[in-house]
Structure 1
Amino acid sequence: MPDSFADAYDFASRLTPADIPPEVMHQARRCLVDLVGVWAAGANTPSARIASNHAAKRYGTSEDAVPMLFDGRPVSPPGFAFAGAIAIDSIDGHDGHQSCKGHAGAALLPALLAELGTSLGIRLDDFLTHLVVGYEIALRAGLSLHATVADYHSSGAWNALGCAAMVARIRGFSRDQFRHAIGIAEYYGPRAQMMRAIDHPTMVKDSSGWGAMVGVSAADLAEDGFTGAPAITCEAHEVAHLWSDLGQRWRMLEMNFKAYPVCRWSQPPIEAIRTLRQQHAFAAEDIETLEVCTFHEATRLATTRPTDGDEAQYSLPVSVALFFIHGDVLPGHLDPKIINRPEVLALADLITFSERADYNAAFPEERYAHVSLSLKDGRVLKSSPHVAAGNYDNPLSDAALVAKFRKYAAGVIPDTVQKRIAAIVLDPAADTTLQALLCGLLREAQ
């Protein structure tokens, strides 16, 4: 077998909490808190309701059924993973990786909880170690996929491998079983063309729901003897360098956390607008023209009349308009009643796009934008180039991340449970179990 597969198997099967540097374990804590908050915010979106109803209808009969979070109905582990990942993905506010051009955690957390089922007595550090394995495998699969194929595929195409790897680790798979599990996950993973969802935004998003379900199902199949083609994103010689540093270079530390629940490509112009408003006094009604200069892919977030929150999250004009009017963008702002207010649409209609060669060249490693405004009083304002808040080299602070969690969880997670979950980041020395942290969530759901 190729050495890169041996690297992946050895890492996934042998990693212990003691092997993980403190900063990586802390990053895993940040991921967990952020994902739970986004999951809570997305639990009652139309796409999440449809997905949970679908899971209850089609995946509800199982001896190892797991109650869905924020719902309570028991479904099979693949159904739980599917519905949970759809709920997280329905609010585009979860962690990402710039070079992967996508998201791992949205699939990984539901898949991991699906596999553990009601066995939540696991120590938190052991749980986080499983999660670290999922991230490190998934992110390398994403980097490998983007390095070897021409099309830009959605996150489910590669986060499925991380899901399968976590389940295989927990079940103690042999090398052959592990190889088949990630091979099945890659072969059946949803290689959706991501730019289709950018040009025509709908509920399909990053296909993480299918990535999570495929990953869990791939492990089930491999355990039963189903064979899978080798995962070329792991075993191809041309990507061996991406796997040889497992346990030495921690890709999790390269991830970003979103300040707003909209496509990250829309967020650099939001930061540019923030800076201009801090430097100059003007209101929305003072603007005559507003040009966003950015990279090509972001110019395709061009929807100006979104009919729902899914379309709004992939609309740069509407995202910028919401921030300008509210001074923030929160999940509640994605309500059709808010995004279709006259003042939002009027400002969105003023926004035009241009692109720059150096911004295009920097993508995907960085996303740049600047904005130029012409005001009715004759002033012309132009920002410097900006990037999104929360990049790995300028991360959101722990306090900011927890504040985001509290905003997203408000009205969904009881305050006492919010405090326990926030302590995962704010008080990492506390020794606890996953059950102690999430039991309030599960009781509320039931």
Structure 2
Amino acid sequence: MKNTAGAGNLSLALPTPCFTDPMPTSAQVLGKFAAELAFADIPTAVVERAKDCIIDTVGVATFGAQFPWSRLVANYARRYGSGGPCSILGVAGSRVHAPYAALANGVFAHAYEQDSVRDPGVGAHPGATLVPAVLAACEETGADGKTAIAAFVAGCEVMFRIAAATHHSPEKLGFHAPGLTGCYGAAVAAGRVLGLNAGALANAIGIAGSLSSGLLAFTKSKSGAMVKRLHLGRASESGILAARLAAEGYTGPETILEGKFGFLEAYCRERDCDPKLLTGELGKNWEVMRICLKRYACHINAHTPVQSLRELMSEHGFGSADVAKIVIEGSDRLLTHHNITEPGDIMQAQYSVPFCVALALFRDPDDPKSFDAGALDDPAIRAACRSVELRAQEGRSPRSTRIIVRLKDGREVARDSDTFKGMPRSPLNRAELRRKFTLLTAGADAKGSAALFERLERLDTEPRFLPA
């Protein structure tokens, strides 16, 4: 594969690949793959899936700009990063330097629990961590749409493999996985736009390892849940930092992933990981095809029971007033992470499976505005939330649930499902994605929203990621 990365004006000579060891490290293998990945080498289906994720992310970030936690970060970015060439989505007229744009847009994209994830889940959010880094690097360098897509794909292939290798075990120790894995993907994606060679990209991965961060304390605390949004913005910002430092000749440990005191050893309990997954089937098995787009503004593990409940309501003709109790059987993760019956703020409510299911009894979960402060303060929704019981069932995956609805008239209806709309095996089509994008971005400018969607649909032919 030839290197067709976007050009970057680098002042120092870049480190050249030096794979004298008969067994190069995973960081070196991943760096070489990313550097040599040409747009022409990417299958059409992968390109289209990447565009779906990019479209989705621009939409959710634009919508996410309105929230208080987003405005605080935007104010910070404008105060300290003004004068740069990069956009803050949803904030008209704001131009800042690349790290600040990546930070703000990453927070915006994760601001309302609508950004994309991987399925099966391993703690990786491609939209909120990769797209802001790619956008910032493209606006900084003037790179075209093909470069943006290739960079996104390279970053996603690396990030998803690193995340899969962890077996999602860092979260058993209290780490918030997207803040850990996102740095690596963002570093590779940004570095790919900058035109880094294999050696420099391996260094960017090595640097990113020391920038990984994020704790799950927000799931157990009654305060401070805003910080969850920050984890993904920081990952994207860290990717810009790692790539730019690597471009200047800064080095990071080649053994950062599988080596002594490296990522897997430090973050995976009792070595609950598989280093072979770090580089397995690169360029053959495209991880991008595992991207899952959300329909609802809530944690991905709530999507199956929410969709199942809405289907049962439609099929059996009952409403919120008819329900006596709801029981949800699922993986132990539902109980350890999502059994929040008294959420203290909107973030905790969106993270709570009982609350999301209760909300779906009263409101349309397809509309992101349903998950607002009014829902959090609604006595009927709060009471219904307390009536939802979660039960762990051995052998269930996090996406697999059985929902049992007990009605006041004595009937009991149930649905067992491990699939929801948006998963790789049941993806949103472009019409469904357009509907979501329009709900998120139209506001007072429906015409502008439609034009932006169409530009992003043909990103592979565009001279720029977003218009100047």
TM class by shorter chain equals: 0.7 to 0.9
Deviation by residue 1:199-248 (Cα, 9 ceiling, x = unmatched): 34712226111111111111222233333223533778962443142111
1:393 partner amino acid: R
Measure how far apart 1:118 and its partner are. Answer: 5.2
Deviation at 1:415, TM superposition (A): 2.3
Which residue is 1:330 aligned to? 367
Alignment of 1:96-135 (within 5 A): 96-97=117-118, 98-117=120-139, 119-120=141-142, 122-135=143-156
Q: 2: CA distance between counterparts of 1:265 and 1:138?
A: 21
SS at match of 1:377: coil
Is 1:156 the counterpart of 2:179? The answer is: yes
Identify if the C-alpha distance between structure 1 residues 261 and 234 changes in structure 2 by more than 3 Å, giving closer, same or farther.
farther
Distance 1:377 1:147, change over 3 A: closer
Identity %: 25
Deviation at residue 372 of structure 1 after TM alignment: 1.6
Of residues 69, 79, 82, the one that matches 2:89 is: 69
Residue 249 (structure 2) pairs with residue 249 (structure 1): no
TM-score, with structure 1 as normaliser:
0.87
Contact 1:86/1:209 (8 A) holds in 2: yes
Which stretch of structure 1 is more off in the superposition, 87-96 or 340-349? Answer: 340-349
How far has the Cα of 1:256 moved from its partner?
0.9
Cα distance between partner residues in 2 of 1:389 and 1:321: 19
Aligned 8 A contact 1:48 1:90 in 2? yes
Q: Is the 8 A contact 2:293 2:423 kept in 1?
A: yes
Could you list the per-position Cα deviations for residues 353-412 of structure 1 after superposition, in whole angstroms to 9, with x for gaps in the alignment? 1111121xx34xxx1111222222122222233433211112122211121111111217
Distance in 2, matches of 1:303 and 1:395, equals 29
Structure 2: runs of 5+ lacking an equivalent: 1-18, 265-273
**Residue 433 in 1 paired to residue 463 in 2?**
yes
Q: What root-mean-square deviation, in Å, do the aligned CA atoms of Structure 1 and Structure 2 show?
A: 2.5
Please point out which of 56, 68, 71 is paired with 1:34: 56
2:295 pairs, out of 252, 259, 270, with 259
Report the 3-state secondary structure (helix = DSSP H, G, I; strand = E; otherwise coil) of the residue aligned with 1:387.
coil
Higher helix share: 1
Partner of 1:277: 313
Q: CA deviation at 1:119?
A: 4.9
Q: Is the 8 A contact 1:41 1:331 kept in 2?
A: no
Amino acid of the residue matched to residue 411 of structure 2? Answer: R
**Equivalent position of 2:34 in the other structure:** 12
Match of 1:217 among 241, 249, 255: 241
Give the distance between the partners of 1:102 and 1:434, measured in 2 at CA: 27
In the other structure, the counterpart of 2:107 is 86
Q: Secondary structure at the match of 1:187?
A: coil
Any idea what SS the aligned residue of 1:101 has? coil
Q: Could you tell me which residue of structure 2 aligns to residue 417 of structure 1?
A: 448
Give, as a single letter, the amino acid of the residue that structure 1 aligns with 2:200: Q
Query: SS at 2:338's partner residue?
Result: coil
Report SS of the residue matched to 1:173. Answer: coil
1:434 aligns to what SS in structure 2? coil
Please list the CA deviations of residues 167-215 of structure 1 after superposition, one character each: whole Å capped at 9, or x if unmatched. 222333344322221111112211x344x33334712226111111111
CA contact (8 A) 1:180 1:229 kept: yes
Structure 1 residue 293 corresponds to structure 2 residue 317: no
Q: How does 1:396-415 map to 2 (within 5 A)?
A: 396-411=428-443, 414-415=445-446
Compute the displacement of 1:431 (Å). Answer: 3.5
Q: Tell me: CA distance 1:148–1:243, structure 2 relative to 1, closer, same or farther (3 Å).
A: farther
Aligned to 1:354: 391
Alignment match, 1:169: 192
Structure 1 residues 18, 432: closer, same or farther in 2, change over 3 A?
A: same
Structure 1, unpaired ranges of 5+: none
Residue correspondences, number: 426
Amino acid across the alignment from 1:290: I
- Residues 245-298 of structure 1: CA deviation (Å, up to 9, x unaligned): 211110010121111010011111112212221221222112111111121212
Paired residues of 2:137 and 2:190 also in contact (CA < 8 A): yes
Query: Residues 48, 407 of structure 1: CA spacing in aligned structure 2 closer, same or farther, 3 A cutoff?
Result: same
